[in-house]
Structure 1
Amino acid sequence: MARADFQVEEKGDGAVLSLSGDWTTTSLGRTGRRLQDAVAGRKVARIDLTDLQKFDTAGALALVQGGVGGLGKAAWKARPEAGRIYALVEKLERQSVPPPRRADPVTRTFAKIGHGVYDFAAEATLSLAFLGRLIAATGSALKHPGRIRWAAWVSQAERSGLDALPIIMVTNFFIGAVVAFLGVDLLTQFGAGVFAVQLIGVSVLREFAVVITAVLLAGRSASAFAAEVGAMRMNQEIDAMQVMGVNAFQALVIPRLAALLVMLPLLTFAAMLAGLFGGLLVTWSSLNLGPAFFMQRLQDDPNMFQHAMVGLSKAPVFALVVAAIGCRQGMAVAGDVESLGRRVTAAVVQAIFAIIFLDAVFALIYLELNL
């Protein structure tokens, strides 16, 4: 392997560049930089290839970047194969576009805000389109009850409702116990420990039971809906259903929505019982207030039933939101796994955000209605 080298001689019609050795990747070293310094300010008219042994794209790139350009086929007559490599590299180097200059931080910040606004508007538009198709499919199902897939409804109700009952009851049991611990510790300081029963009843029946249940279903069912529907969309099963004349909304979306619509109020009621039971055990152990006294205090409060109805009234709305968001994100999955992961994550995040937002709206409404 001969090291790459060169010589530049001035003649009447211009400089003559003589190449020697192997102008390859392993033999160039710093020859390209030296060539650039030697040719600077000169016009290479001819090239001498007498002592050139090997030549590859790295050698051609060193010539082009060194300022040796515009050499025609005649200059490479002695080594036509080297001339073809040189012409190819010179063309690619001439056509290459320099990388775009990175914008300043202020421009990038505003661009990011603009992209966020555009994505939000696009997501809102697609959600409204999904809502319109869902309403049309629901109306069609009510108009033709014989087309309802009852088996799918029952299966989804079991998977999204009954299978979630243990985790929902256990979680709300501990929520009721935590509220009772805080209430007993705080109210006992003022000699009003007995009012911890009312605190537990109001917090569990009115807020915690329905909100915790909806959030758990958002993480459990909304993600499952998005993953199931999204996987079917990735495998083009939804396209096949449309080709066969099957309405994807009636087959996939409405059964899941109806299942949550039925099961979430029932799960909320079970969560209320579990939360009250957790509070009962804490007050029994901390204040020595027995179960009979606990239940009697709840029954003596005339507003306790109203609090329970307020909590149960939120459940159908939360069910519609969780199911619709999960199916909506599933329908928006593209053909890759990365899109599926993004949509499943978006389904959980949007469902939880919608639950908290709607709970605040319900609180304002019931406050105005004195309920």
Structure 2
Amino acid sequence: MEEFAKLIEETRPDGTLQLRLEGTLTIAHIADIDSQLRQISGPVSQIDISAVEHIDTVGAWLIYRTARNHDGTITGAHSDAHRLIEAVSGSDSLPEPEASQLPPFYRLLNDVGLATVDIFRTFIEFIGFIGQCVKAIFNLILHPRRLRFHSVVQHFDSVGVRALGIVGLMSFLIGIVIAQQGAVQLRQFGAEVWTVNLIGRLTLRELGVLMTAIMVAGRSGSAFAAQIGTMKITEEVDAMRTIGVVPVEALVIPRIIATVIMMPLLGIYASLVAIAGGGLLCWVSLDIPPATFIERIREVTPITDFYVGMVKAPVFGAIIAMAGCFQGMRVHGNSEEVGRKTTSAVVQAIFLVIVLDAFFAVFFTEIGWN
């Protein structure tokens, strides 16, 4: 049975230490030899390892380090020990790599350049992914039996039904905030009654659908990326391809269909709840009865505001679903990538939704829906 390493210290007449190591000097048998060698102070004249039976790279490094730090010589090394000590001493003499000394401005340019290249690469890949989705939709139209209806219904529940609580609470509070801030500002001009106009038009035309889209992007878009990304890590997507199932048709299209259908419904729900929140504050703060508030909403809110919201909602839903699934499909390597791509999915979806909302605002103004 191999014995643990032992360290014996002897003081020579000239005041220097002579160290003698015995036993097995391997990582499994070193025990506290490392700490004992680190506590040695003063010059060491000789390190005798003739009684060492077995040695590995860790033991050779401890011997070499002690001899180097205390200017000692190593004696009694057998062939294997001598070879290992030579190897660790050679690696210790390699020059350290020099750190990059680029000026901060050049480093900034490098980071900006890399980020720009990554944005363009992602954009091109996203366009290609949209093409795959369009192709898959045409294939499903030609072969409707390949559409997974049970998966679509399941995503109806996750995207829509389970989001009613948080979307309703958020919309109710937004309606109260719009009414409160509008009333405070309009009161300066004696025009508190116009608060109703502000609530009706802003919620139906913009904030109802936009805030719902942001909430769905953070809730469902991230879930899509995480779910598909995990399937990529566990090679379930590759297994689907092996058995002849198209991953885009099985995983992406049901999520897109569910989100496109549920977004207008959630948008209507959010707008109505926001109007209810604003009406409650108008009743409490401005003494506008609910019946009067509803009648005023019907008078001042054109039907085109409702049309604008309903046109934007399915487009936002498609963008959110495609962004989440696209980032999920890009996951590779390890589970850490799932977190990165999930974050990227939320950021990308919210960015695209806001950009599209700005585009729709200009477009509808130009065609006279203002």
- Whether TM-score is above 0.5 comes out as yes
**Local SS of the residue matching 2:9:** coil
CA distance in 2, matches of 1:81, 1:30: 28
CA distance in 1, matches of 2:20, 2:332: 51
Alpha-carbon spacing, 1:266–1:66, altered in 2? closer, same or farther (3 Å): same
Using the TM superposition, give the Cα deviation of residue 57 of structure 1 relative to its aligned residue in structure 2, in angstroms: 3.3
**Deviations, residues 280-328 of structure 1 (Å, cap 9, x unaligned):** 1111222222122112222223x52111111221101100110000111
Matches within 5 A, 1:245-284: 245-284=244-283
How many correspondences in the alignment? 338
**Local SS of the residue matching 2:48:** strand
Matches within 5 A, 1:78-93: 80=79, 82-93=81-92
Alpha-carbon spacing, 1:27–1:237, altered in 2? closer, same or farther (3 Å): closer
CA distance in 2, matches of 1:81, 1:270: 78
C-alpha contact (below 8 Å) 1:22/1:54 kept by paired residues: yes
C-alpha contact (below 8 Å) 1:60/1:85 kept by paired residues: no
Q: Give the residue type in structure 1 aligned to 2:61.
A: T
CA distance in 2, matches of 1:233, 1:85: 43
C-alpha contact (below 8 Å) 2:328/2:342 kept by paired residues: yes
CA distance in 2, matches of 1:30, 1:99: 31
1:2 matches 2:6: no
1:235 matches 2:242: no
Residue 342 of structure 1 is matched in structure 2 by 340
Alpha-carbon spacing, 1:138–1:77, altered in 2? closer, same or farther (3 Å): same
C-alpha contact (below 8 Å) 2:319/2:349 kept by paired residues: yes
Query: TM-score scaled to structure 2, two decimals?
Result: 0.81
Matches within 5 A, 1:288-367: 288-301=287-300, 304-367=302-365
Q: For structure 2, which runs of at least 5 residues remain unmatched after alignment?
A: 1-7, 22-32, 51-59
Query: TM-score scaled to structure 1, two decimals?
Result: 0.81
C-alpha contact (below 8 Å) 2:200/2:275 kept by paired residues: yes
Using the TM superposition, give the Cα deviation of residue 267 of structure 1 relative to its aligned residue in structure 2, in angstroms: 0.9
Residue 61 of structure 2 is matched in structure 1 by 57
CA distance in 2, matches of 1:156, 1:309: 25
CA distance in 1, matches of 2:11, 2:335: 50
C-alpha contact (below 8 Å) 2:221/2:346 kept by paired residues: yes
**Local SS of the residue matching 1:2:** strand
Using the TM superposition, give the Cα deviation of residue 81 of structure 1 relative to its aligned residue in structure 2, in angstroms: 5.2
**Deviations, residues 18-72 of structure 1 (Å, cap 9, x unaligned):** x95448964585678x99xxxxxxxxxxxxxxx7523743443566799999xxx
Using the TM superposition, give the Cα deviation of residue 356 of structure 1 relative to its aligned residue in structure 2, in angstroms: 1.5
**Local SS of the residue matching 2:189:** coil
Alpha-carbon spacing, 1:30–1:108, altered in 2? closer, same or farther (3 Å): farther
Alpha-carbon spacing, 1:67–1:141, altered in 2? closer, same or farther (3 Å): farther
Alpha-carbon spacing, 1:4–1:349, altered in 2? closer, same or farther (3 Å): farther
Of the structure 1 ranges 255-264 and 117-126, higher mean CA displacement relative to structure 2 is found in 117-126
Using the TM superposition, give the Cα deviation of residue 232 of structure 1 relative to its aligned residue in structure 2, in angstroms: 1.3
Alpha-carbon spacing, 1:203–1:22, altered in 2? closer, same or farther (3 Å): same
Using the TM superposition, give the Cα deviation of residue 93 of structure 1 relative to its aligned residue in structure 2, in angstroms: 3.6
**Local SS of the residue matching 1:173:** helix
Alpha-carbon spacing, 1:238–1:27, altered in 2? closer, same or farther (3 Å): closer
Q: Give the residue type in structure 1 aligned to 2:238.
A: D
**Deviations, residues 76-123 of structure 1 (Å, cap 9, x unaligned):** 8985455334332344345x3522323333332222222212222222
C-alpha contact (below 8 Å) 1:184/1:196 kept by paired residues: yes
**Local SS of the residue matching 1:161:** helix
The root-mean-square deviation of aligned C-alpha atoms, in Å, is: 3.0
CA distance in 1, matches of 2:216, 2:251: 18
C-alpha contact (below 8 Å) 1:61/1:89 kept by paired residues: no
